[in-house]
Amino acid sequence: MIAEARVIVPFTGAGISTECGIPDFRSPGGLWTRNRPIPYDEFVASQDARDEAWRRRFAMEPTFAAARPGRGHRALASLYKAGKIPAIITQNIDNLHQHSGFAAEHVIELHGNTTYARCIGCGEQYGLAWVKERMDATSYAPDCPACGEPVKTATISFGQAMPEDAMQRADELARSCDLFLAIGSSLVVWPAAGFPMLAKECGARLVIINNEPTGQDELADLVIHHDIGETLGPFVGN
């Protein structure tokens, strides 16, 4: 299918990054089952919530900082370099597709990116080091010096609006590909989970690669319930 395809669009979820040491927050026993995620409106309303959100983020920093692209990331980067993949859609926030060789403008991040921060008011970007410095100095999560609004990781939190531009581009990619690869996602988080279905409806072949069954297995042309690194490993360097 990969050899026959003209335009391949991959859609990735947490499963592609677990071999890189990044835990699947949603999995049983994952971080979110122990630590309730902080919803967006709570982050906006409460300094305590913001302090806690940033404490948790910095506690995860050794994990994110040490993560390197895995075999799945590298395989997709190979197909991207070969001109088979115009852009990639991801639910991940770990920046590993960019690390593997995708240009930033070709990574469509549905849930944002946790490797930098952004003001929720004016959108100004800040490095995590800047946030850490301010927190260490004042013990409070900082507000934006430009507009006074809170600074948050550049991720999409629960209750926060989906990024319109990313949703639009993902929609166009799903409609225009002839092979859609859903990789490492349980396909249960909406609206992101609508894209494999859309691609299939628009005539693409749909392949699902995930360790566990997904909600859309019966729609797919091919379902592979197997380790992602092992499944995609042979495409690294091809």
| Nearest residue (CB) to Zn ion, 33 versus 47 | 47
The answer to whether the bond into 10 is cis (omega within 30° of 0) is no
Distant-in-sequence, close-in-space partners of 196: CB < 8 Å, separation ≥ 6: 11, 174, 180, 182, 187, 206, 208, 216, 219, 220
Q: How far is the CB of 123 from Zn ion (least distance, A)?
A: 7
| Nearest residue (CB) to Zn ion, 147 versus 222 | 147
Q: How far is the CB of 194 from Zn ion (least distance, A)?
A: 32
To the query of whether residue 111 is one of the catalytic residues in this protein, the response is: yes
Query: CA–CA separation, 46 vs 41, rounded Å?
Result: 9
Distant-in-sequence, close-in-space partners of 55: CB < 8 Å, separation ≥ 6: none
User: Of 73, 111, 225, 226, which one is the catalytic site residue?
Assistant: 111
156 in Cβ contact with 118 (< 8 Å)? no
Q: Give the position of tokens 């072949």.
A: 205
| Nearest residue (CB) to Zn ion, 51 versus 149 | 149
Q: Is the dihedral of CA 22, 28, 34, 36 positive or negative?
A: positive
| Nearest residue (CB) to Zn ion, 146 versus 188 | 146
Q: How far is the CB of 90 from Zn ion (least distance, A)?
A: 26
Q: How far is the CB of 153 from Zn ion (least distance, A)?
A: 15
Residues lying near Zn ion in the complex (CB under 5 A): 119, 121-122, 124, 144, 146-147, 149
Distant-in-sequence, close-in-space partners of 215: CB < 8 Å, separation ≥ 6: 186, 187, 188, 193
| Catalytic sites, residue numbers | 111
